[in-house]
Structure 1
């Protein structure tokens, strides 16, 4: 039985039609790993198309290869994308664990005749791929892409453009290298990317220091008026309506990272953000320590992800979704208190009202 790397090496030995896709509303790891893999495969002579199932934040548009990404829109390019899927000899699925995460593309990929390759770091991957490189211990899918290129003997093909895509994915998925997933291996990879000539400061600035004025005003509104702290549960949450998104002309990516502000409160070990997107309420959960938001989301909100970072969805109204969430907290009060105690978090005090 050949090793996974040997199987992939054989698969890519001759130029092929390659299709790369990633999850809905791609973040820096999703897009960065996709474009890094695309750039590498193009150097090997493959014909590559990256297709995203939705748009993505403008602060990622600087990535090498971005101008050639096809954004799927059922009304505008459904036939084109279906043809790309069906013609592909190899289909890479990056940074998602189940086909439902790529919306309508999921069934197209499921029934595609080409070889399907999964490269991902989320828990409990769906069994749909012919070659599986899922590793939930990895900090980012970009970490896995680097390792695959290296193990194929092609690290020398990683140039600054490819390297900066990989760095963006690793930097963001490790929370700028502060999450527990930041391993020795992560830092060794970054050292190798530095040798490839990447500009760390430029990548950080493009992602974190390129907000619109409206986005900052939206952030101020959210922190002042929408942040709710539940001291008795060591929990904080944010709920945002469609009207509030419209009032601040919210763009894709404007809500990214907001849940981390809730988690940054001293004493909070569990945080959530609920965003009314119309057809459904999209949810992000974060935690510290031993409290698994992946388990919580999977059990109650049809979601999953990582131990300390997960997503979910609700098809109820926003207020009903928040009510359900609050109703669940008493069942987890002991676990949350234990997590807070183990992590050394102080008891939460109720903040005085803002004058």
Structure 2
């Protein structure tokens, strides 16, 4: 294991560093990874971000994005870089299974591994851990790592600030979730002072949808939404045919579950979508309802209390039916 003094000593000299994050990266995954990347290159480190899969187009504007390597599109290059790395930063995930094939490469690597994450129950594959389940985003922890652990607040430049702001904004649902504390707002203020243009970031992330994406959203709300008032639950279920019809791309389903959660009295919302090889499930909840418990117990997943996900090899209708059968178990929490 590394202690902070040893890690600081390592980072005092240029290192070959890989930064990786979970598959199908979201705003926090890319924001925290690229924020860390833009910090490291200021010190002369040879840093690269490798993502296991592609990610939404609406995140491709962030500083440093042009240097990102997508593993599935650059397998040989990724393997060589990971094998040669001195340090590997594992950002916004805590299990090697979350990075697909990249997980095996990281597990075999002799590089020191640094985890920066806020999810429950981390695996013991890391040598140094900056971890806090109360953080609203991994990007918040990257900021804390740079400013409070490494004592280098002066290296939070405009590029770092822009990426970290994006991560915090997206993972806090635009600063609406309960873990958006006063400390988070102070961090965000610091990032704005460092050059993050908050209104512009919001425009680039939330107001850059394609026409197909908007029509797909309309279809989901008009034709795929089912409300179960007896359980204060709303479910949106989408078939593979729906995805094909609206030419749905990576990121186009992002945030749709929140529309179901926005209905008055709804405490649990589910977005269930049929993919090529499995059915994916995203849950969002309000208050103390444990969305992560349902995903972990019944759908091979996990996450946070109010935002969790899972997957199943059952049919789409099978997953919907299974979720409905589970709801009576949680009725007291759902109707309180």
TM-score (norm 2): 0.97
Q: Is structure 2 residue 298 aligned with structure 1 residue 336?
A: no
**Counterpart pick for 1:291 among 269, 289, 292:** 289
- The aligned residue for residue 231 of structure 2 is 233
- In the alignment, what sits opposite 1:51? 50
| Aligned ranges 1:153-168 → 2 under 5 Å | 153-168=151-166
Query: How far off its partner does 1:337 sit?
Result: 1.4
Partners of 1:37 and 1:291 in 2: CA distance:
33
Alignment-derived partner of residue 90 in structure 2? 93
Unaligned runs of 5+ residues in structure 2 are: none
Alignment of 1:203-242 (within 5 A): 203-242=201-240
- State the partner residue of 1:62: 61
CA distance in 1, matches of 2:92, 2:85: 19
Q: CA deviation at 1:333?
A: 1.2
1:183 to 166, 181, 187: 181
Q: Indicate yes or no: 2:139 matched with 1:142.
A: yes
Q: Residues of 2 paired with 1:123 and 1:213: CA distance?
A: 37
Give, in whole Å, the separation in 2 of the partners of 1:50 and 1:13.
Answer: 20
Kindly provide the CA deviation profile for residues 59-87 of structure 1, in whole angstroms up to 9, marking residues without a partner as x. 001100000100011xx532221111111
CA distance in 1, matches of 2:329, 2:293: 14
Q: Which range moved further: 109-118 or 6-15? A: 6-15
CA contact (8 A) 1:5 1:148 kept: no
Cα distance between partner residues in 1 of 2:125 and 2:34:
22
- Normalising by the residue count of structure 1, what TM-score does the alignment of the two structures yield? 0.92
Q: Does 1:130 align with 2:127?
A: yes
**Structure 1 unaligned regions, length at least 5:** 339-355
C-alpha separation in 1, matches of 2:320 and 2:27: 28
State the alpha-carbon separation in 2 of the partners of residues 193 and 334 from structure 1. 41
Q: Which residue of 2 aligns with 1:84?
A: 81
Distance 2:107 2:195 in 1: 38
TM superposition shift of 1:329: 1.1
1:274 aligns with 2:278: no
Contact 1:215 1:248 in 2 (8 A): yes
Deviation string, structure 1 residues 313-346 (Cα, Å, up to 9, x no partner): 11111111111111111111122112xxxxxxxx
The structural deviation recorded for 1:157 is 1.4
Aligned position for 1:41: 40
Deviations 1:160-201 (A, max 9, x none): 111010000001111111100101110111111121122111
Match status 1:169 vs 2:189: no
| Residue number in structure 2 paired with 1:18 | 17
CA distance in 1, matches of 2:310, 2:201: 29
